[in-house]
Amino acid sequence: MLQSLYVRIQDHLRGTISSGELGPGDRLPSENTLARKFQTTRSTVRQALARLDFEGLIHRQAGLGTFV
C-alpha cells in the first residue's frame, strides 16, 4: 500500500530526530526546503509538521521556525 506523502515526511523527520541527527532545540529545515526535498507543496509539508506538533515531537514558532 502506498503511504501518503505527508506520512513519509513525518517518518523522515521522526527518523532524523530519533537517530540524534536533530536534537532538542535544533531547528528543522524550512517548509520550502522540505517541499523541494520531497517534491511536493508547502501545504503537504505543513500537514506533516502540524501532526508532529500535535504529537509534541516538535514545536513551531511564528517567524522563527520549527524546532525539536
Terminal C-alpha separation, the chain: 30
Please state the rounded mean pLDDT for residues 14-29. Answer: 96
* pLDDT score at 15: 96
Q: For the chain, how many helices (H) and strands (E)? A: 3, 2
22 Cβ contact partners less than 8 Å away, ≥ 6 residues apart: 13, 16, 28, 68
pLDDT reading at 61 higher than 90: yes
47 vs 3, more confident: 47
Nearest in space to 24 (alpha carbons), one of 64, 56, 47: 56
1 vs 3, more confident: 3
Confidence of residue 3 (pLDDT cuts 50, 70, 90): confident
